[in-house]
A = this chain, B = another copy of it.
Amino acid sequence: MEDDSLLESFWAVTRRLRERTKITLEPWHVSPSQSRALGVLSRHGEVRLSVLAERLHIAPRSATEVVDDLQERGLVERKPDPTDRRATLVALTPGGVATAAAIHEARATEGERLFAGLDPADRTELARILNLLREAR
């Protein structure tokens, strides 16, 4: 009963978060999954496509697709890996760096008002509990 409503609450909050994310990203015409990839790339720099996939928790084939789209928009580029000719390195272009930074900024101010609305103590609590859930087996 209680768990039931917990799950429901979780689901409701997730939905709101998704809606907000979508709205925040609109100005850049970047989808949520693309923005996640930009985030990984700006945190890790140049990485192999397979590593990108791993960080995003998606199949390598799916990463190929995300990278295709970002490349078409000129936000990332593929380079050969000098140490392994099978592999491709993916890196942000200058435009990609700028976009990633702008999005990061926007999320911090606009998008996450949801969390910002909590008082600091509650935010800490929430973070603690989420990390418990994250690591529970």
Q: 5 closest pairs, A vs B, by CB?
A: A9-B130, A3-B112, A117-B136, A13-B133, A12-B134
Q: Tell me which residues across on chain B come within 8 A of A129, comparing CB atoms.
A: 118, 122, 125-126
Q: Which residue of B lies closest to A3 (CB)?
A: B112
Q: Tell me which residues across on chain B come within 8 A of A122, comparing CB atoms.
A: 129, 132
A2 in contact (CB, < 8 A): yes
Q: Are B133 and A16 in contact (CB under 8 A)?
A: yes
Min CB–CB distance A94 → chain B (angstroms): 23
Min CB–CB distance A49 → chain B (angstroms): 21
Complex Cα distance, B134 from A5, in Å, reads 12
Q: Tell me which residues across on chain B come within 8 A of A3, comparing CB atoms.
A: 108, 112, 115-116, 123
Complex Cα distance, B15 from A105, in Å, reads 25
Given contacts A6-B123, A12-B130, A114-B133, 15 further A-B contacts (CB under 8 A): A2-B123, A3-B108, A3-B115, A4-B107, A5-B127, A6-B115, A6-B126, A9-B131, A10-B17, A12-B134, A13-B130, A117-B132, A117-B133, A117-B136, A122-B132
Q: Tell me which residues across on chain B come within 8 A of A117, comparing CB atoms.
A: 132-133, 136
Complex Cα distance, B130 from A117, in Å, reads 12
A14 in contact (CB, < 8 A): yes
